[in-house]
Structure 1
Amino acid sequence: MSDFTQSMALSASGMKAQAMRLRHSSENIANADTPGYHRKIAGFEKVVSDGAPTGEVTLGPVRLDRSELTQIYEPGHPMADENGYHDGSNVDLVVEIADAREAQRSYEANLRMFDQARQMSASLLELLRR
C-alpha cells in the first residue's frame, strides 16, 4: 500500500508546484501593463529527505526577470521622462500564455496519475476484503 500512497504524494506535489507556477503566470499576465513591472520566474526543485531525493518536487524561489523593460513613448504619462518615455514591463504575453497552458496540462496529468493510484488502491482493498 505504501507504493500507492507514495505515488499519490508524488502526484500531489506536482499538482501543488504546477498550481503555484500557474499563479505566477497569472500574476505576470495581470501586470503586463503595469509600468516598471518585472516578470516573476520560478523553477522546480527536488525535495530531499534525509539526504535522499524523494521524487517529489516543489517550486523554487521566485526570482524577478532582470531583462530590459520596454520603453514606451507617451509624453503625457505622469512617469514619462523629459523625452516622453517611461518604463513598461518585460512581460511577453505569448510566453506567459504558453507557460500557463503548459502548467495547466501538467497539473491535469498529475491529477490523472493521482486518480489512477487512488482507483488502484481502492481496487486492491476491495480484493483483500473478499
Structure 2
Amino acid sequence: MTFDAIGVAGTGLTVHRKWLDAISDNIANVNTVTGTDGEAFRARYVLAAAGEDGGVYVQGAAYGDAEGRLVHEPDHPLADADGYVRYPDIDMAAQMSQLILAQRGYQASAAVVDRAKDTYTAALQIGRN
C-alpha cells in the first residue's frame, strides 16, 4: 500500500513538473516577436490522463494558435510594410493562475511521498522491535 502511494504520487510529481516546464516556457516567450510572414510562438499545454493504476500520466500536448496577435509597431525591425509584427496569443494572467495550480499540485504530491516514506520507516521500526 505504501509503495503504491509513493508510485501514484510520483506520477503526479512528473505530470506537475512537465506542466510547470510548459508554463515557464510559455511565460518566457510571451514577448517573442516574429514577422507577419511567420508563425507566432505557440503556447504549450500539457494533456494529462488517469492511468489504470491510479496514477496520472502525460498523454500529450496541445498548442496554442500560430496566428498569435498582430500588433502595430512600425519601428520594429521585423515589422511588415504596414508596420505590424506578430506576438504569441498568451494570456499572462491565465499562465500565472496555471502556475499556482501546478505548484500546489507538485507540493501536494511531494507531501504524499514524504508521508508515505515516513509511514514505511515507522513500519520498519515497529518490525525491528
TM-score by length of 2: 0.89
The structural deviation recorded for 1:81 is 2.1
Counterpart CA distance in 2 for 1:75 and 1:105 is: 42
Q: Is the 8 A contact 2:71 2:86 kept in 1?
A: yes
Offset at 1:91?
1.1
Specify the alignment match of 1:38 in structure 2. Answer: 42
What's the RMSD between the two structures over aligned residues? 1.3
Give 1:50's aligned residue: none
Structure 1: give runs of 5+ residues left out of the alignment: 48-52
Which deviates further from its counterpart, 75-84 or 119-128? 75-84
Aligned residue for 2:55, secondary structure, equals: strand
Alignment: residue pair count: 123
Encode CA deviations 1:53-85: one digit per residue, 9 max, x unaligned. Answer: 111111221221127512111112232222211
Q: 2 CA distance for matches of 1:97 and 1:40?
A: 14
Unaligned runs of 5+ in 2: 34-39
Q: For residue 85 of structure 1, what is the aligned residue in structure 2?
A: 84
State, as a whole percentage, how many aligned pairs show the same letter: 24
Whole-angstrom CA distance in 1 between matches of 2:66 and 2:112: 37
SS of the counterpart of 2:41? coil
Q: Which runs of 4+ in 1 moved over 3 A?
A: none
2:14 to 13, 16, 24: 16
Q: CA deviation at 1:39?
A: 0.8
TM-score (norm 1): 0.88
Post-superposition Cα deviations, 1:64-117, rounded to whole Å, max 9, x if no partner, equal 112751211111223222221111111111111111111011100111111111
Deviates more, 1:18-27 or 1:33-42: 33-42
Name the aligned partner's letter for residue 109 of structure 1: A
The equivalent residue for 1:7 is 5
